Amino acid sequence: MADQRLSLQQRLLQKLSPQQIQVIKLLEIPAMQLEQRIKSELEENPILELIEGDETDDNYENDSDDSQSDDEFSLEDYMNEEDIPSYRLAANNYSKDDKQVDMPYSSGVSFHDSLIEQIGLSDLNEDEELIAEYIIGNIDEDGYLRRDLLSISDDLAFHRNIDVKLEDLERYLEIIQDFDPPGVGARDLQECLLLQIMRKKGTNSTCLASKILQDNFEEFTRKHYDKIIKKYDITEEELKAAIDEILKLNPKPGSSYNNPMSKSNQVIVPDFLLDNLEGELQLSLNQKNVPDLQLSSTYMDLMKSYSGNKNLASKDKKEAMLFMKQKLDSAKWFIDAIRQRQQTLMVTMLEIIKFQKEFFEEGDETKLRPMILKDIADITGLDISTISRVSNSKYIQTHFGIYPLKYFFSEGMQTDTGEEVSTREIKSILQECIANEDKRHPVTDEKLALILKEKSYIVARRTVAKYREQLGIPVARMRKEL
């Protein structure tokens, strides 16, 4: 048996205090969420209150000094630290409301409810309606049946004790596919488009579109139009008319039933306001909806009266003093965290403006200089993670539009003359080239690389492909049009 020994080890560990964690949390959230965070803190902490009228937050410093200078007002007079459980002194600085959850409205009829209502219009008995409802339950919000019928048959047998043949499930599915909206219950995109095109009137272009979807769907998706023209012996105008019919179809039929009231509109509230006054840039924080905080003078007086009341029972006094002391510390930490947040935001944004001064003066995208998080971190002396938190989900309002802070960060590369330019400038040139290309013969990545080379930007073909994908632009073959 091995000997058991005791040994001392000395290690250095880095741990964040509750105050540091609170600052980090506040630094991450944008202005709109900060307002809600302050409101929730005001509800939880009675010692915090809003500054009204001409009052300033000097009360915070004065009250803090008074509370420390008063000898009678001391928690140590009433209890020993050993008697206080650690959890009793932990400040609850985070609210359950910090997690932003979209609350849908209950108005309107949902997509699945609409399908279930249509079952009553079909010629099905009670048992068959149960099976049809089960199939509808497996249809997703886009209107597709993502599960195969064999799995649904197994589920019905195990969970509902209903034995259904695949042929019967196919028949029930065909009934559901006749429901509105057209295309519902499809198992893939091809079937979805076919179900919709079959409900249209039988014009020449509709019939041709149906044939293309039925027999040449792969050629259509890959835009091999020459093969389709050759197979059906048609003109480009006839093929274009058929393609126009296909493009009018809805690839996600379930989305047409989504209730617009169930989704909240995303409103951008800028965190910074930048004004250009006679050529001079002036930055300010958007504090319009962010209230100023101070310590409640009522509770401060109450704490002093408790400390000087000798007639109060020691146990009651201990409980009351412990509660108010805990809330006092929490309020001080929260006010300090708000101030530190404002200071960090202003310092970081001022350096970004200095770095990108030419852009903020004119609003010309080509004036953006290459800038990464490390550049601003080195200038401000802050950590890169802090700069990342500042730039995340924050916006600035300028005289030429509202921009996310991440917009100003981009990598750099050198031209053939040695000049360093932003990759955003190269992406802008790529967008312009692709927008002006001949859609019958789209420009390939290799040709785009040659065009950039002519403009003094030495970029490899694979780099062009990477920038194109970042811009959400498909390859040349997929951009082809008639």
The pLDDT score that the predictor gives to residue 266 is 61
CB atoms within 10 A of CB 89: 13
Q: Beta-strand (E) ranges in 164-232?
A: none
Residue at token pair 């312009």: 432
Domains and CATH numbers, the chain: 16-83+268-409 (no CATH), 111-257 (no CATH), 411-482 (1.10.10.60)
Name, in order, each residue with C-beta under 8 angstroms of 158's C-beta and a sequence gap of 6 or more: none
Strand 395-398 to 401-404 pairing: antiparallel
Long-range contacts formed by 80-85: CB under 8 A, 24+ apart: 84/322
Rounded Cα distance, 262 and 103, in Å? 8
Name, in order, each residue with C-beta under 8 angstroms of 228's C-beta and a sequence gap of 6 or more: 212, 216, 219, 220, 234, 239
CB distance 194 to 204 below 8 Å = no
Long-range contacts formed by 180-185: CB under 8 A, 24+ apart: 180/114, 180/118, 181/143, 181/250, 181/253, 181/254, 181/256, 181/257, 182/250, 182/253, 183/143, 183/249, 183/250, 183/253, 184/115, 184/139, 184/143, 184/253, 184/254, 185/135, 185/139, 185/143, 185/144, 185/145
pTM to 2 decimal places = 0.56
Name, in order, each residue with C-beta under 8 angstroms of 264's C-beta and a sequence gap of 6 or more: 102, 103
The pLDDT score that the predictor gives to residue 37 is 83
Helices (H) and strands (E) in the chain, counts: 20, 8
Q: What is the pLDDT along the chain (482 residues), one digit of tens a residue?
A: 566 778 888 887 666 667 777 778 888 888 778 888 888 888 888 887 877 654 444 444 444 444 444 444 444 444 444 444 444 444 444 444 445 445 444 445 778 888 888 888 888 888 888 888 999 989 998 899 988 888 888 888 888 888 888 888 999 999 999 998 899 999 999 999 999 998 887 788 889 989 999 999 988 888 888 898 999 888 888 888 888 899 889 998 887 665 444 444 567 788 889 888 877 888 888 877 677 788 877 777 777 776 666 555 566 667 777 777 888 888 888 888 888 888 999 999 999 999 988 888 888 777 888 888 888 999 999 888 888 888 888 899 988 888 898 888 887 776 666 666 777 778 888 888 888 888 888 888 888 888 888 887 888 888 888 888 888 888 888 787 76
